[in-house]
Each structure stands twice: as structure tokens, then as C-alpha cells.
């Protein structure tokens, strides 16, 4: 499988890239600045492209079977996620890449009937802008009828950790453990994402992961 990863030098993107390489996929890392990227993998292809430029993306992702977006907006510029999402959707279709997968947000997951995590009383105010951006980006995907897309929303606490292979998958509800905690490691997230890439079960859907 040929995979192009947008934001491959980000915190989550690096882990997804490493997981893809261990599976012997043909991986192209798409980064904003090649000069800042050190390639330690001889099998890895690195292409410089601008996620804010649709034509640049089209040229970068051509010839792949799948595009994975690990793009993360900068603090204070959360709405840029919407611009990039629109570009990714359009570029994937124009480049004739069959499928697009993206990192979602936990804020759009439900914690009670009709109540999303991002709208709950104790949701941190500092996280609301990125939660709102991810929720709006998810709607862009849900309104897309021509493209085979999948969004994977992580648990509430999403950080680097261990690759345990022991996690739960769901669709629209936040996954919590028996103590009420909601968390997942980058490593297990990457494993689930690439399992879905190789064996699709959530085509044109959002799904979620947690312990």
C-alpha cells in the first residue's frame, strides 16, 4: 500500500509514520519544510508541500492509495484546520487517490444523550477553539459524498505512551475506562488507524478509540 502522510513531522504524525514503515508500506512524508526533516529511513520518500495550497497538495499526493492527514493547527489559528480540510478533500479527489483518513477531535464525541464533550460543563475553555474546529471539520467530511473518507477521534487524553494493542473502538460516544478516565496513546492510536487503512470497517464514518 502506498500512503502519503500530511504533517508527518508532527507529534502524532511521526508515530503514524513509524507504524506505517513497520508494516512495510510505501510511505511518503509530506512536510512544509524538508530542511527541518531528518530522514533516517532509506525507504521513506519526503516531499515538500503546502497544506494551504490545493495544487501543491495534488502534486504531492498523486499516485498513492491513501492520504492520512495528521495536520494540527497552531494555537490561536485553530480555524486553519477548516481551510486545510477543504484543500485535502478537493486535492484527494483531483489527484484520484481512493481514500482520505484524518485525525479528529474528542470534543465532538458524546458523553450523554445530546451532549458533546466539547459542550460539557467541565470542558477546558482553552481547548474549546480546537474542539470547535475539529467538530466543523468533521461536518465537512460528513457532507462529502464523492470521497471515501474516515475520521478517527481519539480519547480525551491523547499523548505519547506505549503500544499495547489493548483498546476499545466505538463510533460516536467517548470511550472511558472503569474509573471514568478517557485516554489513548499515540502509539495505539496509530495502530488502530493503520488497521483501519488495511482492513476498512468505517468507510465514510467517524470512529473513536480509548482504553
Which residue range(s) make up the domain with 71? 2-210
Instruction: Please provide the DSSP assignment of 127-172 as one string.
Output: GHHHHHHHHHHHHHHHT--SSEEEEEE--SEEE--------EEESS
* Residues forming a β-bridge with 183: 157
CATH of the domain at 135: 3.40.50.720
Model confidence over 62-104: pLDDT tens digits? 999 999 999 999 889 999 999 999 999 999 999 999 999 999 9
Give SS3 for 28: strand
The DSSP 8-state label assigned to residue 173 in this structure reads B
Q: Which of 6-15, 28-37, 106-115, 194-203 has the lowest mean pLDDT?
A: 28-37
Q: Domain count of the chain?
A: 1
The count of other CB atoms within 10 Å of the CB of residue 203 is 10
- Whether 34 and 21 have beta carbons less than 8 Å apart is answered as no
Strands 45-48 and 26-31: parallel
Amino acid at each position: 500500500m502506498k500512503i502519503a502522510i500530511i504533517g508527518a513531522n508532527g507529534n502524532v504524525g511521526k508515530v503514524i509514520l513509524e507504524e506505517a514503515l513497520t508494516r512495510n508500506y510505501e510511505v511518503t512524508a509530506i512536510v512544509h519544510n524538508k530542511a527541518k526533516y531528518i530522514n533516517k529511513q532509506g525507504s521513506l520518500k519526503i516531499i515538500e508541500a503546502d497544506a494551504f495550497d490545493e495544487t501543491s497538495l495534488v502534486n504531492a499526493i498523486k499516485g498513492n492509495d491513501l492520504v492520512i492527514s495528521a495536520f494540527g493547527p497552531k494555537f490561536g489559528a485553530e480555524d486553519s484546520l477548516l481551510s486545510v480540510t477543504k484543500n485535502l478533500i478537493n486535492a484527494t479527489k483531483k489527484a484520484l487517490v481512493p481514500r482520505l483518513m484524518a485525525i479528529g477531535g474528542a470534543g465532538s464525541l458524546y458523553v450523554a444523550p445530546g451532549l458533546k464533550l466539547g459542550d460539557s460543563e467541565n470542558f477546558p475553555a482553552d481547548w474549546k477553539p480546537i474542539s470547535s474546529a475539529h467538530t466543523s471539520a468533521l461536518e465537512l467530511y460528513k457532507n462529502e459524498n464523492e470521497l471515501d473518507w474516515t475520521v478517527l477521534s481519539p480519547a480525551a487524553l491523547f499523548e505519547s505512551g506505549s503500544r499495547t494493542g489493548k483498546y476499545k473502538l466505538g463510533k460516536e460516544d467517548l470511550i472511558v475506562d472503569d474509573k471514568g478516565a478517557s485516554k489513548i496513546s499515540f502509539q495505539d492510536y496509530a495502530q488502530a488507524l493503520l488497521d483501519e487503512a488495511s482492513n476498512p470497517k468505517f468507510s465514510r464514518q467517524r470512529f473513536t478509540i480509548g482504553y
